[in-house]
Amino acid sequence: MDVFSHLTDAVFGNPAKAQDLVVWQAVTRALLVYIVLIVAVRFGKKRFLGEATAFDAMLVIIIGSTASRGILGNAPLANALAAVIVLIAFHWLISLISRDWPFFSALVKGSATPIISQGRVLHGNMRDAHMSADDLDEDLRSKGVADPAEVAEARLERDGRLSVIKK
């Protein structure tokens, strides 16, 4: 084994089992994963962690799970980092394709659902979106609207929030 392998094993550990890692090796793994994630997310799209759609949220969950396995030694660190980088790159590619192909975007990210049109509540769309009347009332109040009749259009957006355009 060469000097580099000994050094990396000493710093990051090379456990046969996760419990063979010592605390400071988990800490150095966590710092490395954090740095790699910062770099990878910077190369991802800017809206990645903004108003996240289910598409974005799913990626965050998978990245967290994969990265934690590498930090805690339940998976080889290099494999976990490679998987995270590939996931972010694939997400970026899907986002790029979605930007130019509306059909693909709707397929992957979903589309907004009209909930109110010209003051009229679209109960069928609410039912399809599993949105109760109480949910609608709460969302409208948060937008300063007391009555659906005051609304020109309200849509349940892809990220789950209600956007409202008043009359």
DSSP notation for 71-117: HHTSS-HHHHHHHHHHHHHHHHHHHHHHHH-HHHHHHHH---EEEEE
**160 and 95 share one domain:** no
The secondary structure element, H or E, covering residue 24 is helix 23-43
- Extract the runs of DSSP E, i.e. beta strands, from the chain: 113-117, 120-121, 151-156, 162-166
Phi, psi at residue 149, to the nearest 5°? -65, -20
- Cα 83 to its chain centre, rounded Å, is 16
Q: Which residues contact 135 (CB under 8 A, 6 or more apart)?
A: none
pLDDT of residue 50: 56
In this predicted structure, the answer to whether residue 106 has a pLDDT above a threshold of 90 is: no
Share of the chain above pLDDT 90, in %: 36
Please state the pTM of the whole predicted model.
0.66
Q: Comparing 166 with 48, which gets the higher pLDDT?
A: 166
| Beta-bridge partner residues of 165 | 153
Structural domains counted in the chain: 2
Q: Comparing 5 with 33, which gets the higher pLDDT?
A: 33
pLDDT of residue 38: 84
pLDDT band at 72 (very low <50, low <70, confident <90, very high): confident
User: Of 75, 89, 4, nearest to 39 (Cα)?
Assistant: 89
Most confident segment among 36-40, 93-97, 145-149: 145-149
Q: Which structural domain range is residue 153 located in?
A: 112-166
**136 and 102 share one domain:** no
**103 and 146 share one domain:** no
**79 and 117 share one domain:** no
**103 and 116 share one domain:** no
What are the structure tokens assigned to 128, written together? 């399809």
pLDDT of residue 37: 83
CATH number of domain containing 119: 3.30.240.20
Q: From CA 156, how far away is CA 121, in angstroms rounded?
A: 12
pLDDT band at 114 (very low <50, low <70, confident <90, very high): very high
